[in-house]
Amino acid sequence: MSQQHGGNLYNASQALQIPMAALLDFSANLNPLGMPDALQDIYKNGIHTLLHYPDPDYTVLRAQLSQYAGVPVPCVLEGNGATESIFLLFEVLKPKRVLMPVPTFSEYGQAIERVGGVVVPFVLCEEDSFQVPFEQLKPLLHTVDCVMLCNPNNPTSQLLDKQALLSFIADAKALGVRVVVDEAFIELTEQGVGNSTAPYLSQHDNLYIIRALTKIFAIPGVRLGYVLAKADIIEKMKARKMCWSVNGLAVLTGNYLSQCQAFLAQTRACVTTEKNWLFEQIGQIAALKPITPATNFILVKVINDNLNVQQLHTTMARQGILIRNASNFDGLNEQFFRVAVRQRHENLTLLQTLKRVLFSR
């Protein structure tokens, strides 16, 4: 079964001959509250707009994203998911050597290598809960022309210390090194966009931010992400971007941005309670060691030598629960898996199934 990414329900259902509807997906890390009702209404009421091509300049969507992110319109560019934004940004930055703490989201490496860049991995330490040690990264800045950071990081669920990050960006700037920060999960951390570097964009012209609406509104099928960057880079990205790469449903999503704050507050409350609870509960299972999470997913280490994560993944899936085998992340091994934080009744099902599978071996 392909395990390149989580959330591949189709693949899992085919491989295990289990109907998709019978699988509870803990492998994709989406908002546990699901798609907001008001957004669903916007899609239903706007279905007629799909009769037309989207505005190729995305004038309204860009204004909505700009307003939401608090960044001027010329500094914003929509993308077909954060994934298109990542690839397009690296196409324009064309870095030669990119310092990248690992484990992290695998598409960065693909995007960097596609433009002839080399990833310089910095392997994060499990003993330090995979926190990024900026003091150790700083001496490496003169060996690279770009740094890729994910905040909070997938799959470790660790948040960067904001002051340390800002000081690192300033040091990188002094050396002419660009810093890309992927904030796809930032709204799902306890302080939400309070953890974002977006307010510092105008101060640091070496800072590039990737964002997504995918995770926060649980809309992976819609494909909507965006980049925040200085205007000349956005112009270069526009020139390379495929016309209409962002579809009509994604465009409609922009209409929800001005009214999403209550939903995001409700989401943060749910994620905070559930991530703490699930972390504690998993920690009570003798064979497992969860890493303290900062957002809506938890990286878990299997500390029983006789237990193989691939087997655990398959056995759990046969019981209707999909977890993310995390062994294919650079910097991890076959002892690690990742689970999304979902709602309490679903988290209970995950725990019961984990215990049943582990204790019946």
Ligand X SMILES: Cc1ncc(COP(=O)(O)O)c(C=O)c1O
C-beta closer to ligand X: residue 84 or 145:
84
**How many binding residues for ligand X (CB under 6 A)?**
12
C-beta closer to ligand X: residue 6 or 117:
6
Helices (H), the chain: 9-16, 37-45, 59-69, 81-93, 107-114, 134-137, 162-174, 231-240, 248-253, 261-283, 309-318, 344-359
C-beta closer to ligand X: residue 338 or 358:
338
Sole binder of ligand X in the list 74, 121, 192, 220 (CB under 6 A): 220
| Interaction of residue 105 with ligand X, rule CB under 6 A | yes
Write down the least CB distance from residue 94 to ligand X, Å: 20
Coil, strand or helix at 82: helix
C-beta closer to ligand X: residue 93 or 358:
93
Sole binder of ligand X in the list 212, 216, 294, 350 (CB under 6 A): 212
| Interaction of residue 81 with ligand X, rule CB under 6 A | yes
Three-state secondary structure readout of 139-202: HHHHHCCEEEEECCCCCCCCCCCHHHHHHHHHHHHHCCCEEEEECCCHHHCCCHHHHCCHHHCC
Question: Strands 178-182 and 297-302, how do they pair?
Answer: unpaired
Sole binder of ligand X in the list 69, 160, 184, 249 (CB under 6 A): 184
Residue 151: which of 110, 196, 213, 111 has the closest Cα?
Answer: 196
Coil, strand or helix at 100: strand
C-beta closer to ligand X: residue 267 or 353:
267
C-beta closer to ligand X: residue 28 or 287:
28
Q: Report how far apart the first and last C-alpha atoms of the chain are (Å, whole number).
A: 22
Q: CB under 8 Å to 2, separation ≥6 — which residues? A: 8, 11
Site for ligand X in 138-167 (CB under 6 A): 150, 154
Q: Which residue is at the shortest CB distance from ligand X?
A: 81
| Interaction of residue 214 with ligand X, rule CB under 6 A | yes
**Among the residue ranges 77-85, 140-148, 282-290, 313-321, the one whose residues contact ligand X (CB under 6 A):** 77-85
The token duo for 210 is 């990737």
Amino acid at 157: S
Write down the least CB distance from residue 361 to ligand X, Å: 31
| Interaction of residue 298 with ligand X, rule CB under 6 A | no
| Interaction of residue 270 with ligand X, rule CB under 6 A | no
| Interaction of residue 35 with ligand X, rule CB under 6 A | no
148, 104 contact by CB (below 8 A): yes
Sole binder of ligand X in the list 25, 182, 274, 346 (CB under 6 A): 182
Write down the least CB distance from residue 29 to ligand X, Å: 7
| Interaction of residue 109 with ligand X, rule CB under 6 A | no
**For residues 334 and 307, what is the distance between their CA atoms, to the nearest angstrom?**
9
C-beta closer to ligand X: residue 154 or 197:
154
The token duo for 339 is 């689970």
How wide is the angle at C-alpha 108 spanned by C-alphas 105 and 110, nearest 5°?
115
Write down the least CB distance from residue 104 to ligand X, Å: 8
**Contact positions vs ligand X (CB under 6 A):** 81-83, 105, 150, 154, 182, 184, 212, 214, 220, 225
